[in-house]
Amino acid sequence: MKNLNDSFLFDKNISSTTEMVEIIFKGFDEIPWSEFILNPRRLRGSDFLMRWSQGVWSEHRLIDAINSSNEFFTIPYGPSGTAPHESIKEFELYFERLDSAGLGNIKRPDLLVFPIKYKDYIKDEVKKIGGISELPFIKEEFLKSILNKAILGVECENSLWKAVKMPDFNCELKPQKRLLGKPGLKKNAVLPTVIIKEEDREPLAKWQSQNTIPIHIWHVFYDRAYGLSFNNAENLIIEGLISPTIQIFQAPGGATTKKIIYKFYYHYAYSLGLSVQEPKLISACIEDKNGHILPYVKFEGGSIKITEECLNILRDLTK
């Protein structure tokens, strides 16, 4: 079995846990994936394309929401955020370029958030280096003019759920034996959570320390979004309030591995945003060079509004 740590950065970026992909596609005949050639590495199928589309959609919702606040604005910063989003082939080739440049082991937050007063300045600085897409290829020592103005780094996550309809939404935390009497929920509870991978903890902590910029995890659901500071998440782990969960991850090349993740109850997070317009799920497809069609479902439209609670947190960070 191939370890995901040894796979390409592209594969790591769109790897999915079994928990995150819970849609069954019906009505399609079996497709011989070995004959489906888009690029040097073959795509895994509809679940991957759905996941990729969902990630692009949720990140754009966050950018639009922050940039509509009239107090703050954000730019994509990490490799996933600056990658091409219109073409899955260009998306993969972009990550191949990162691999070739030896940047596969660098962990940067997906977004940077700034006070609105620096908007024109940041745009000019980004333009000098060749645009947003070039950010991951430039050493951070040459990006200080941008980083010095940021108040927050954001790591983006998303889930294919309507939060308010999840079975254990609104359940109160109660003493749990497995948590040595500390508050929590049953092990198999289904409710909104903010997720952090164990393998990301050390790299995120390192980036946060080196740049003296706090990192928050922003997790987007179909109908709302939650935020949690990285420092608060670490404290919850240390205090034994959140225990690790083992999940199976699968990369598009077929590699699987067991990894540790932490699922933080939304009770510990802050309300980041609420949906004011739901997205549409529309049909889409890609075609290989031989005319073979691969259908999938794509997210389109929708918007969220940043909550006053989140705005107050950003205001405090500005101070």
| The three-state (H, E, C) secondary structure of the chain, written as one string | CCCHHHCCHHHHHCCEECCCCCCCCCCCCCCCHHHCCCCCCCCCCHHHHHHHHHHHHHHHHHHHHHHCCCCEEEEECCHHHHCCCCCHHHHHHHHHHHHHCCCCCCCCCCEEEEEHHHHHHHHHHHHHCCCHHHHHHCCHHHCHHHHCCCCEEEEEEECCCCHHHCCCCCCCCEECHHHCCCEECCCCCCCCEEEEEHHHHHHHHHHHHHHCCCEEEEEECCCEEEEEEHHHHHHHHHCCCCCCEEEEEECCCCCEEEEEEEEEEHHHCEEEEEEEECCEEEEEEEECCCCCEEEEEEEECCEEEECHHHHHHHHHHHC
What pLDDT is recorded for position 299? 80
Give the pLDDT of residue 94: 72
CB burial class (10 A; 0-12, 13-18, 19+) of residue 181? exposed
Please answer whether residues 261 and 195 qualify as being in contact, where contact means their C-beta atoms are separated by less than 8 angstroms: yes
d(CA 27, CA 180): 47
The C-alpha atoms of residue 4 and residue 17 are separated, in whole angstroms, by: 12
Asked whether the beta carbons of 229 and 270 are under 8 A apart, the reply is: no
Residue type, position 282, single letter: I
- Domain span including residue 15: 4-318
Angle ∠(22,76,136) on CA atoms, nearest 5: 105
Residue 87, pLDDT score: 67
Grouped pLDDT means (10 residues each) for the chain, 319 residues: 46 51 41 40 57 80 93 89 66 72 72 97 95 86 95 93 95 93 93 95 94 97 95 97 83 69 97 90 75 77 93 96
Distance CA 85, CA 95 (A): 12
CA distance 113 to 139: 19
| Residue type for position 243 | S
What tokens appear for 105 in the block?
Answer: 């082991």
Q: Which residues pair with 271 in a beta bridge?
A: 226
Domains of the chain: total: 1
Lateral strand order in the sheet of 215-220: 72-76, 111-115, 152-158, 215-220, 224-229, 270-277, 303-306
User: What is the spatial distance between Cα 28 and Cα 251, in angstroms, rounded to a whole number?
Assistant: 22
